[in-house]
Amino acid sequence: MPGTFITFEGIDGSGKSTQLRLLNNFLRVNGWNPLVTREPGGTPVGLRLRAALLDATEEVDPLTELLVFAADRAQHVRRVIRPALAAGQVVISDRYADATIAYQGGGRGFPPELISEIVQLATEGLKPDLTLLFDVSIEESTHRTTRRSTGKNSANKAGRDRLDIEDAAFHTRVREAYLVIASAEPERVKIVDASGPLEQTHERVKDVVVSFLRSRM
């Protein structure tokens, strides 16, 4: 089987990281052995960039933010994703270039031409074969991210990061930008309704991913 590149996307609080954990367990039990990675922070230098990017106490200029996400991605593509794909692996990344289009393009308002130039530079044109877009309302996502930072389990969570604390208008623009990508590329991007119970979403994720992987065997 050729290497397969799958990405998970969605607004903060969409539940994609939980779904990725569940899918990873399922795929491992069934012998697929995917390489699961994430952005920002899929490499050692990327982890340092991630800490700088998400620190809620630091004021980061939007242009700096755009370029550091791109730097993180360049390292990730060249050192992790491409080598794994070349070895025939299934690579699943928690966020990738669509996040820059949605957050820095939609959210921050950088022009689409600049965003696509920077994405092209950082990715060297590498696109996912399949993207799952976890879609949930802004109300539900805010509820989830707030609960995450104030709930009983918050002691072992990092709390809300610099992008989580942006206002509802920002997250609405991010969500809309994601939906625009999905409607422009329906073959690649599958929208997963993430508003229901965890287990229900997991069933849908398994269906989409397993049938896609089987189609490539």
CA distance 212 to 182: 17
Is residue 8 within the footprint of ligand TYD (CB under 6 A)? Answer: no
| Comparison of 32 and 110: residue with beta carbon closer to ligand TYD | 110
Is residue 163 within the footprint of ligand TYD (CB under 6 A)? Answer: yes
Q: Which long-range contacts (CB under 8 A, 24 or more apart) does 193-200 make?
A: 193/135, 193/136, 194/10, 194/14, 194/15, 194/16, 194/19, 194/134, 194/135, 194/136, 195/135, 195/136, 195/137, 195/140, 198/15, 198/18, 198/19, 198/22
Is residue 172 within the footprint of ligand TYD (CB under 6 A)? Answer: no
| Comparison of 160 and 213: residue with beta carbon closer to ligand TYD | 160
User: Is 34 in a helix, a strand, or coil?
Assistant: coil
Sequence-ordered list of residues with C-beta below 8 angstroms from that of 217, at least 6 positions apart, any chain: 1
Out of 5, 20, 39, 129, the only residue in the binding site for ligand TYD (CB under 6 A) is 39
Which range touches ligand TYD (CB under 6 A), out of 97-105, 120-128, 188-196, 199-207? 97-105
| Comparison of 19 and 213: residue with beta carbon closer to ligand TYD | 19
Is residue 27 within the footprint of ligand TYD (CB under 6 A)? Answer: no
**Contact residues: ligand TYD, CB under 6 A:** 12, 17, 38-40, 54, 69, 94-95, 99-100, 103-104, 161, 163-164
